[in-house]
Amino acid sequence: MSESEATAPGRTGTRRPPATIYDVAKATGVSPSTVSRALNKPGRLKEATERRIRDAADQLGYRINPMARALPTGKTGTLALLVSDITNPVYFDVVRGAERVATANGLTLVFAESQESPELELATARRLQTSVDGLFLVASRLADEQIADLASIKPLIIANRLVPGVTAVVPDPRPGIGAALDQLQEFGHRRVAYLSGPDASWMNGVRWRTLFTYAVERGMSIVEIASTSPTREGGAEALPRVLAADVSAVIAYNDLVALGLLRAAREGGVEVPGQLSIIGFDDIFGADLPTPALSTIKSPLRELGEAGVHRLLVEIDDGDEEHAPSLPTRFIARESVADRRHRD
């Protein structure tokens, strides 16, 4: 049999066996346990020794096997991040923040979505829990009881939500909402609408209650208008209801809803901000790109992802409960809010 016949189609030759921890130990002249400490728990050896071991591992093509590492420790070195909608840009910075902390701790982050479906979210969360050390739920659509049940099985952190007995990281909407209403009041706006998000969103309720309280304190009237979905389409479809409410300004549940409303207003001949001022929420990538650039209440998204993974690691290691991080929102003033003081 010729060499070409012995080699399977598409292969350039026989694969070499993967390098082992013993190969790295032999190449560096140290014990396998020393190699394990250098690769799995950095910072415990002299820097020069650790660097020499890592360089040898790279040259040999050695890769840590998380399943093998899990045998003695019961841990896989893997975390899972589950969000409600992968297409929503609000999660980009959350994922970046979570990934940064996971990587810094030598862990792998698995990412999944539930497509705004509580049923799919529960099934996905249960499936992920069998193979990860901890679960990070962002904008969960599950009932409190379901989240608490998941947290009783394995370490779990939630973001943008409070559930009794479950550790959470939640931005504070009050500073950003207060500053946004202050500008609207200063610019002569008296009637404001809140274009709301999904009923299943815990943060939607928090934002509405905060807006209502702060608007009343400022002597402003405010009305809640439902959107059909937390998307551009949901914002666009709400334009007739916004116009019927006879308000001069709208604060939307998120930037996607605000951008959809802005687009529909422009297409429908409604001048923004001349006839209608619009404010979003979150400050996603691209919020400053339309004309006019969207004013928004910025959420600390990257810090939220970082804080969530930090606290998840504490839960996994059974550490002492950390102080909840301060995650204030802030108002970003751009072009989509008009000064009405010299009109009315």
**Cα–Cα distance between 207 and 136 in angstroms, integer?**
22
Domains annotated for the chain, with CATH where assigned, are: 3-64 (1.10.260.40), 77-170+302-316 (3.40.50.2300), 174-299 (3.40.50.2300)
Cβ contacts of 310 within 8 Å, gap of 6 or more? 101, 322
If you average pLDDT over residues 218-232, what whole number do you get? 94
**Cα–Cα distance between 122 and 114 in angstroms, integer?**
8
Per-residue pLDDT tens digits for 30-84: 988 888 888 776 777 888 888 899 899 888 888 766 555 554 556 788 999 999 8
pLDDT at 6 over 50: no
AA letter at 102: A
If you average pLDDT over residues 16-33, what whole number do you get? 85
AA letter at 48: A
Residue 74, judged by CB atoms within 10 A of its CB (0-12, 13-18, 19+), counts as exposed
Per-residue pLDDT tens digits for 116-130: 889 999 999 999 998
Q: Which residue has the higher pLDDT, 141 or 43?
A: 141
Alpha helices in the chain (DSSP H): 3-6, 21-28, 32-40, 47-60, 66-73, 90-104, 118-129, 144-151, 174-186, 202-217, 232-237, 239-244, 255-267, 301-316
Per-residue pLDDT tens digits for 185-205: 999 999 999 999 988 888 999
Closest C-alpha to 231, from 261, 203, 208, 251: 261
330-332, strands of its sheet edge to edge: 221-226, 191-196, 249-252, 277-282, 295-298, 330-332
Helix axes 118-129, 144-151, angle to 10 degrees: 0
Closest C-alpha to 221, from 194, 199, 240: 194
The residue assigned the tokens 């016949």 is 5
Q: Report whether the peptide linkage leading into residue 230 is cis, meaning its omega lies within 30 degrees of zero.
A: no
Chain centre distance of CA 344? 41
Task: Give the global pTM.
Answer: 0.75
pLDDT category, 302, cuts 50, 70, 90? very high
